[in-house]
């Protein structure tokens, strides 16, 4: 993978400052940083710790404990494919294989241009319309190989 795009430290400082008067600022602060930057840059951990009166190791523990927080850059479009039982028995494995081939990514990888990150999840909670996938905030059910092509043509066009 290529180097991550540069991080705007002034943007991080502004976000940190927005939470200076909060009683429990760590989670909302790191979530806000991730929403704006796409991840929590490791070099910002000491800045966050200082602002909230914790040791950097404590902030790092909080960030790494939560699966929805990331310390590495991710793609602009996060593609999630369900691997739950209902999705699996209805063709989810083929859907995942197709997406891996299309993106040239394995589970957990991000494209060099930071356009896509591919993830698998154990369940999306939409078993009635399995197999399922998401691209960003868009949810797709009743997937098949031709629908996968349409989803990606729509997001590329």
44 DSSP assignment: G
pLDDT value at position 1? Answer: 46
Tell me the domain boundaries of the chain. 9-65, 77-156
Q: Is the pLDDT of residue 2 over 60?
A: no
Cis bond upstream, residue 131 (ω within 30): yes
147: which 2 tokens? Answer: 């629908």
Quick: pLDDT tens for 103-155. 999 999 999 999 999 999 999 999 999 999 999 999 999 999 999 999 998 77
Residue closest to 99 by CA, chosen among 71, 125, 123, 80: 80
Distance of CA 28 to the CA centre of its chain: 17
pLDDT value at position 157? Answer: 60
Distance of CA 144 to the CA centre of its chain: 23
d(CA 26, CA 51) in angstroms, rounded, equals 9
d(CA 109, CA 49) in angstroms, rounded, equals 29
Q: Sign (positive/negative) of CA torsion 147, 130, 107, 77?
A: positive
pLDDT value at position 4? Answer: 74
pLDDT value at position 21? Answer: 84
Mean pLDDT for 45-49 is 96
More confident residue, 55 or 38: 55
Mean pLDDT for 56-75 is 94
d(CA 157, CA 144) in angstroms, rounded, equals 20
Mean pLDDT for 10-25 is 92
d(CA 109, CA 11) in angstroms, rounded, equals 26
Q: Is the pLDDT of residue 75 over 60?
A: yes
Q: How many residues does the chain have?
A: 157
Instruction: Look up the CATH architecture of domain 77-156.
Output: 3-Layer(aba) Sandwich (3.40)
């Amino acid at each position: 993978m290529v180097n991550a795009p540069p991080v705007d430290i002034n943007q991080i400082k502004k976000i940190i400052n927005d939470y200076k008067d909060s009683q429990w600022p760590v989670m909302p602060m790191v979530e806000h940083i991730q929403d704006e930057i796409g991840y929590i840059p490791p070099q910002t951990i000491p800045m966050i710790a200082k602002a909230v009166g914790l040791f950097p190791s404590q902030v790092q523990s909080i960030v790494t404990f939560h699966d929805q927080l990331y310390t590495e850059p991710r793609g602009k479009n996060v593609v999630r494919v369900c691997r739950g039982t209902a999705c699996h028995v209805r063709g989810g494995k083929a859907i995942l294989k197709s997406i891996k081939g299309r993106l040239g990514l394995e589970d957990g990888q991000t494209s060099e241009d930071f356009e896509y990150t591919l993830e698998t999840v154990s369940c999306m909670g939409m078993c009635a319309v399995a197999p399922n996938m998401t691209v960003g905030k868009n949810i797709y059910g009743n997937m098949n190989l031709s629908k996968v092509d349409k989803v990606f043509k729509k997001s590329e066009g």
